[in-house]
């Protein structure tokens, strides 16, 4: 039996030479992988960035639209309030002149008491009161001029101010000429 | 000088609730308007509810609180309430009996008219035609309101019918012709009254609107006068002033309740649900005041809003209203629950006169076809939804699933609208088309081929799209 031949280790250069294709292949693969990873990362980063930009644009757009809507709502509210205010003032002024006419009419009609014709007027009013309530009516002078007549359960107010009020009520639309051309 | 109104009756036998019993009267009739003066000089108003021999029962509009029968004087005007009529009403805000709430002078006019009015003589009626565009897409497209029509809105408490009524009052137009709106709010809460004032501010400032607000705490008899005053004012703006006038009456159920209260006070025999037996003719005497008159310009269109107690469409008020009016706009709690405004129940809504006011030469050539197809597809979608509730969405055929998609687009894109957004008819019809085009062309058989081509309707070509779910 012959002893086995002792193994002689290969020379280091030989090993290096033999492994170099493997190393190169590994290196190539690693580089390709790294490049691919890098490209992926770049792409991903670009996509994330683009997405973020789009989102930012959308948020900005929405905020702008919201702001515009809020602004236009606020402007509309302001306009509505201003119009309401203007309208309220116009109407208040008209009411004031309407009431002034009534006041003036009452003053003028009360002044009739001092006129020469008042006795005849009062007589005519008394006659009318008796037509309305009958001859038994109790007729008395009203503090503002004119007469008030009474029978039990009924009353007729022919005072000068009441007559003026009724006359103004009948004028209706003519009073509008105070504020309409 | 007339005797009516000059004599004041001073014998008030008793005051009971809002009623004053005046004795010793002569020649006083039902519904006569009365002026009541208190000992302090304060003026109140009343309406004669009952007159028997020398007794008159007067309902005091402002109530009898603080009245001493000793010093009270009642003068009867000799006729039912008359109101001034004319353009002075435009831009004014008044209470339910026409007295100013806006700080202005009383409404003044050279003419006045009895608020009871008289319905238009049938032989002088001109058939309604031409639309009133409300700016509410679903209403204009599916239930077009026609000038001279009476079209009620049927709603349920809790739904946004007041918003819808206010939106229509704020937006409605008649294609550039002279137009005005009379809005009569009856039995409104103060919050609702202030909402209506805000919503209609712009139109009021433009002088196109008459606003009458009777709040829930106002006397009931005033609530009975409110729609009559509104219609009297509207008739004169329309038939003398030549305007197209839309009268919005909100809410007719509270009106009918006021009528019931007054009827009970008069001791009348109650009929269905204690409403008076004449509820039908009373409602008709209001609704029939709309229309157009031959040889006169203008029109009166009436949009009454009524809430159905507990959603009961057979309740006397919606029931009798339905007999008189020409269709209805129904609001649905289900649609409201899905967050859609206006919550229109399109399949229950109908404008009977729509064909007279919409279509070629009036609105748009494709209007009637599109409306018919929208409703037909919606009816099918409703069936499919019922089926899906039973078998599940997954078991539906692809064609049926597209109907569910259609319904979604119909509600979200076509019907849904902001309450401050006026939507033109063209925009609404385009949205209608958009909803219809979610369906394959083969399902749009009510639309002419030329129109389908023009809108680019394409058939999917998928065979599944023609199949229905097996039942």
| A50 pLDDT above the threshold of 70 | yes
Q: List B306's β-bridge partners, or say none.
A: B154
Which of A77, A84, A98, A177 to mutate to probe the B interface, most B CBs <10 Å?
Answer: A84
A81 to chain B: nearest residue by CA? B201
Domain ranges of chain B: 8-80, 83-355, 367-466
The answer on A123 and A110 residing in a single domain is no
CA atoms within 13 A on the CB side of A26: 5
- Residues in B closer than 8 angstroms to A88, CB to CB, are 102-103
- Determine whether the interchain pair B106/A98 forms a contact, defined as Cβ–Cβ distance below 8 Å: yes
What is the CATH architecture of B83-355? 3-Layer(aba) Sandwich (3.40)
Residue A8 lies in a domain: no
Residue A181 lies in a domain: no
Residues 104-133 of B with CB under 8 A from A: 104-106, 108-112
H or E stretch at B93: strand B93-95
For residue B105, the distance in angstroms to the closest alpha carbon of chain A comes to: 4
Residue A144 lies in a domain: yes
Q: Return the beta strands (E) in B385-438 as ranges.
A: none
Q: What share of chain A is helix, strand, coil (3-state, %, to 5)?
A: 75, 10, 15
Q: What is the pLDDT of residues A5-44, one digit of tens each?
A: 666 777 788 888 888 899 899 999 999 999 999 999 999 9
Q: Which of A114, A133, A166 is the last residue of a domain?
A: A114
Report helix, strand or coil for A13. Answer: helix
The answer on A99 and A127 residing in a single domain is no
For residue B14, the distance in angstroms to the closest alpha carbon of chain A comes to: 14
Determine the Cα–Cα distance for residues B214 and B94; give it in Å rounded to an integer: 9
For residue A125, the distance in angstroms to the closest alpha carbon of chain B comes to: 11
Size of interface A-B (CB pairs under 8 A): 83
Q: What is the pLDDT of residues B128-169, one digit of tens each?
A: 889 999 999 999 999 999 999 999 999 999 999 999 999 999
pLDDT at B163: 96
The answer on A110 and A25 residing in a single domain is yes
The answer on A64 and A28 residing in a single domain is yes
The DSSP-derived string for B270-330 is B-GGG-BTTHHHHHHHHHTT-BEETT---EEEEEEEEE-GGG-TTSHHHHHHHHHSSEEEE
The DSSP-derived string for B203-258 is HHHTT-EEEEEEETTS-HHHHHHHHHHHHHHHHHHHHTT--EEEEEEE-HHHHHHH
Instruction: Supply the angle between the helices B220-239 and B252-265 in degrees, to the nearest 10.
Output: 130
Which of B108, B166, B170 to mutate to probe the A interface, most A CBs <10 Å?
Answer: B108
The answer on A121 and A72 residing in a single domain is no
From the list B318, B345, B316, B325, the residue with the least C-alpha distance to B333 is B345
Distant-in-sequence, close-in-space partners of B330: CB < 8 Å, separation ≥ 6: B153, B154, B155, B344, B345, B348, B349
Tell the residue number behind the tokens 């259609």, with chain if given. B406
Q: Which structural domain, as residue segments, surrounds residue A28?
A: 18-114
The answer on A124 and A85 residing in a single domain is no
Residue A1 lies in a domain: no
| Count of CB atoms situated within 10 Å of the CB of B185 | 28
pLDDT at B17: 82
The answer on A98 and A52 residing in a single domain is yes
- Determine whether the interchain pair A155/B205 forms a contact, defined as Cβ–Cβ distance below 8 Å: no
What is the CATH architecture of B8-80? Beta Barrel (2.40)
Total-model pTM: 0.85
The answer on A146 and A96 residing in a single domain is no
φ and ψ of B84, to 5 deg: -65, 145
- Residues in A closer than 8 angstroms to B195, CB to CB, are none
- Determine whether the interchain pair B8/A94 forms a contact, defined as Cβ–Cβ distance below 8 Å: no
Asked whether the domain spanning B83-355 has the same topology as the one spanning B8-80, the reply is no
| A1 pLDDT above the threshold of 60 | no
Q: Which of A114, A134, A156 is the last residue of a domain?
A: A114
pLDDT at B2: 46
Residue A4 lies in a domain: no
- Determine whether the interchain pair A95/B202 forms a contact, defined as Cβ–Cβ distance below 8 Å: no
- Determine whether the interchain pair A176/B108 forms a contact, defined as Cβ–Cβ distance below 8 Å: yes
The answer on A71 and A96 residing in a single domain is yes
Which of A83, A99, A154 is closest, CB to CB, to B7? A154
Contact by Cβ (8 Å): B102, B93? yes
pLDDT per residue rounded down to tens, chain B (471 residues)? 444 558 999 999 988 888 899 999 988 998 899 999 998 989 899 999 889 889 999 989 888 888 888 889 999 999 899 999 999 999 999 999 999 999 999 999 888 899 988 767 889 989 888 999 999 999 999 999 999 999 999 999 999 999 999 999 999 999 889 999 999 999 999 999 999 998 998 899 888 999 999 999 988 889 999 999 999 999 999 999 999 999 999 999 999 999 999 898 888 899 999 999 999 999 999 999 999 999 999 999 999 999 999 889 899 999 999 999 999 999 999 999 999 999 999 999 999 999 999 999 999 999 999 999 999 999 999 999 999 999 999 999 999 999 999 999 999 999 999 999 999 999 999 999 999 999 999 999 999 999 999 998 877 655 555 566 666
Residue A6 lies in a domain: no
Contact by Cβ (8 Å): B97, B230? no
Q: Which of A65, A96, A114 is the last residue of a domain?
A: A114
The answer on A83 and A28 residing in a single domain is yes
Contact by Cβ (8 Å): B351, B327? yes
Asked if B176 has any chain A CB less than 8 Å from its own CB, the reply is no
Total domains in chain A come to: 2
For residue A88, the distance in angstroms to the closest alpha carbon of chain B comes to: 7
CA atoms within 13 A on the CB side of B311: 6
pLDDT at B1: 41
Residues 45-74 of B with CB under 8 A from A: 73
Q: What is the pLDDT of residues A148-178, one digit of tens each?
A: 999 999 999 999 988 998 888 888 788 888 8
For residue A166, the distance in angstroms to the closest alpha carbon of chain B comes to: 10
The answer on A123 and A107 residing in a single domain is no
């Amino acid at each position: 039996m012959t002893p086995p031949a002792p193994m002689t280790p290969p020379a280091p250069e030989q090993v290096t030479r033999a492994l170099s294709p493997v190393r190169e292949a590994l290196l190539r693969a690693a580089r390709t992988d790294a490049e691919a990873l890098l490209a992926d990362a770049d792409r991903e980063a670009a996509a994330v960035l683009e997405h973020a930009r789009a989102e930012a644009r959308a948020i900005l757009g929405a905020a702008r639209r919201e702001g515009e809507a809020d602004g236009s709502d606020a402007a509309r509210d302001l306009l509505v309030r201003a119009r309401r205010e203007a309208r309220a003032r116009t109407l208040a002024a008209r009411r004031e002149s309407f009431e002034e006419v009534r006041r003036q009419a009452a003053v003028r009609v009360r002044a009739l008491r001092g006129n020469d014709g008042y006795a005849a007027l009062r007589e005519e009013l008394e006659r009318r009161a008796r037509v309305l309530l009958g001859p038994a009516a109790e007729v008395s002078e009203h503090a503002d001029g004119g007469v008030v007549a009474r029978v039990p359960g009924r009353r007729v107010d022919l005072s000068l101010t009441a007559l003026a009020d009724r006359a103004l009520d009948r004028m209706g639309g003519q009073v509008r000429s105070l504020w309409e051309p | 000088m007339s005797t009516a109104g000059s004599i004041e009756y001073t014998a008030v036998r008793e005051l009971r609730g809002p009623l004053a019993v005046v004795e010793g009267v002569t020649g006083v009739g039902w519904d006569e308007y009365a002026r009541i003066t208190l000992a302090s000089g304060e003026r109140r108003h009343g309406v004669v509810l009952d007159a028997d021999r020398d007794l008159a029962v007067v309902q005091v509009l402002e109530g009898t609180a603080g009245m001493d029968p000793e010093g009270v004087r009642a003068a009867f005007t000799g006729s039912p309430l008359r109101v001034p009529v004319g353009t002075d009403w435009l831009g004014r805000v008044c209470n339910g009996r026409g007295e100013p709430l806006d700080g202005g002078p009383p409404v003044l006019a050279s003419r006045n008219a009895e608020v009871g009015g008289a319905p238009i003589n049938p032989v002088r009626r001109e058939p309604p035609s031409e639309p009133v565009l409300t700016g509410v897409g679903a209403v204009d497209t599916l239930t077009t309101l026609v000038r001279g029509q009476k079209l009620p809105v049927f709603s349920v408490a809790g739904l946004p019918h007041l918003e819808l009524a206010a939106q229509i009052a704020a937006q409605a137009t008649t294609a550039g012709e002279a137009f005005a709106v009379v809005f009569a709010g009856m039995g409104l809460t103060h919050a609702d009254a202030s909402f209506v004032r805000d919503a209609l501010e712009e139109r009021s400032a433009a002088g196109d609107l008459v606003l009458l607000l009777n709040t829930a705490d106002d006397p009931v008899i005033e609530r009975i006068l409110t729609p009559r005053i509104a219609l009297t004012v509207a008739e004169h703006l329309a038939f003398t002033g030549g305007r197209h006038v839309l009268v919005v009456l909100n809410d007719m159920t509270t009106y009918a309740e006021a009528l019931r209260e007054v009827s009970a006070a008069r001791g009348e025999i109650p009929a269905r649900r204690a409403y008076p037996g004449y509820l039908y003719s009373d409602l008709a005497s209001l609704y029939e005041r709309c229309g157009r008159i031959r040889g006169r310009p203008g029109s009166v269109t009436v949009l009454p809003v009524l809430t159905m107690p507990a959603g009961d469409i057979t309740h006397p008020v919606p029931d009798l209203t339905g007999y008189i009016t020409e269709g209805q706009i129904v609001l649905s709690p289900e649609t409201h629950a899905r967050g859609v405004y206006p919550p229109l129940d399109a399949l229950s809504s109908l404008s009977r006169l729509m064909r007279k006011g919409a279509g070629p030469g009036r609105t748009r050539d494709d209007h009637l076809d599109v409306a018919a197809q929208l409703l037909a597809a919606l009816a099918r979608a409703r069936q499919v939804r019922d089926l899906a509730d039973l078998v599940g969405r997954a078991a539906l055929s692809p064609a049926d699933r597209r109907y569910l998609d259609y319904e979604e687009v119909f509600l979200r894109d076509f019907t849904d609208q902001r309450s401050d957004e006026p939507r033109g008819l063209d925009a609404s019809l385009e949205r209608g088309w958009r909803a219809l085009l979610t369906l394959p062309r083969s399902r749009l058989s009510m639309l002419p081929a030329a129109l389908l081509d023009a809108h680019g309707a394409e058939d999917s070509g998928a065979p599944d799209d023609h199949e229905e779910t097996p039942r």
